[in-house]
């Protein structure tokens, strides 16, 4: 019985080796064509300069320049209209008065004031940057 078990185990082992492609010989195996994801490749330098087409850079810079020039013209025209158009001046004055009324109504709400105080206590002092192309309507307040 023991002999049959030993023969059976050897036969089983031999069959497993044949199925898995294992043989007792040391043959040089061909390199695998499949990529191994665990292989460590040298890290690429992310700060390495890349080749950029100079014509594309010039075109991009020119488009940006034209865009900024157009924005300056739009802002200049808006400022001119804010200062010269009497209807806009009148509407601005009315808008300021209405905003003061809205602010007063908001200031009366206790729950809103508590929430604002909590928010100010949590949030750090973050300086606000002026917007680059914002119309400056505040210059009309003194008129």
What is the sign of the dihedral through the CA atoms of 118, 123, 129 and 133?
Answer: negative
Residue whose tokens read 């036969």: 11
Per-residue model confidence (pLDDT) at position 33? 53
Q: What is the pTM of this model?
A: 0.40
Q: Which two tokens stand for residue 44?
A: 């690429």
Closest CA to 138 of 77, 73, 79: 79
Report long-range pairs for 19-22 (Cβ below 8 Å, ≥24 apart): none
Q: Which two tokens stand for residue 16?
A: 């497993």
* pLDDT tens across the length of the chain (143 residues): 566 667 667 777 777 666 766 555 555 555 555 555 555 655 666 666 677 888 888 999 999 999 999 999 999 999 999 999 999 999 999 999 999 999 999 999 999 999 999 888 887 766 666 666 555 554 444 44
Closest CA to 95 of 60, 59, 141, 34: 141
CA of 12: how far to CAs of 3, 19, 21, 120, in Å?
Answer: 14, 11, 14, 76
Number of helices (H) and strands (E) in the chain: give both, helices first: 4, 0
């Amino acid at each position: 019985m023991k002999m049959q078990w030993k023969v059976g185990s050897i036969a089983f082992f031999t069959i497993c080796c044949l199925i898995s492609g294992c043989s007792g010989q040391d043959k040089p195996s061909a390199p695998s064509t499949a990529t191994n994801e665990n292989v460590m490749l040298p890290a690429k330098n992310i700060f390495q300069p890349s080749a950029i087409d100079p014509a594309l850079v010039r075109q991009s810079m020119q488009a940006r320049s034209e865009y900024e020039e157009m924005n300056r013209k739009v802002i200049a025209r808006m400022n001119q209209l804010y200062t010269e158009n009497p209807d806009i001046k009148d509407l601005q004055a009315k808008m300021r008065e209405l905003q003061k009324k809205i602010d007063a109504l908001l200031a009366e709400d206790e729950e809103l004031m508590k929430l604002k105080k909590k928010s100010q206590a949590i949030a750090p002092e973050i300086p606000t940057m002026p917007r680059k192309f914002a119309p400056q309507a505040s210059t009309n307040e003194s008129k």
